[in-house]
Structure 1
Amino acid sequence: MKGSDIKKYLIENGIKQSYLSEKTGIPSPILNMILNDNRKIEANEYMRICDALGVPLEQFKPDKAKKLLVR
């Protein structure tokens, strides 16, 4: 998964990074680095982001990984 995919989702749904930072407890500078693909996302951060956005963990997996899950 890439942080830029999460960033795209935020933009498409009108969700501010500051809101996500507040809901997840991830500091804004760290979240910004994740969303701009300047820092790898840790598993616990990814789970908190998905939880805050109300989306399944599979939401931001690459298409190839999604296809493997379906089979």
Structure 2
Amino acid sequence: MIRALIESAFQTGYLSVESEGLIHQVLATRSYQSEDLKALVTLCDALQAGHVKREASSNLLFELIAQYR
């Protein structure tokens, strides 16, 4: 599921608040695979480089991803 959300973000150029919330839920329930974490790191890099924009204003996603790096 995480990879589908990330793929959508790359296709649209935006990570929606809803997608970010779903990613957070999946991480919180530990319902992910190692490939999902790799995709999250790629997304984080794209967000920091400005290739993908975020609708959300909090840094929660970056804090979550930092835990898995």
Flag whether TM exceeds 0.5 (same fold).
Answer: no
Kindly indicate whether structure 1 or structure 2 has the higher relative contact order, using CA contacts under 8 Å at least 6 residues apart: 2
Q: Which has a greater percent of strand?
A: 2
TM-score by length of 1: 0.25
Highest CA radius of gyration, 1 or 2? 1
TM-score by length of 2: 0.26
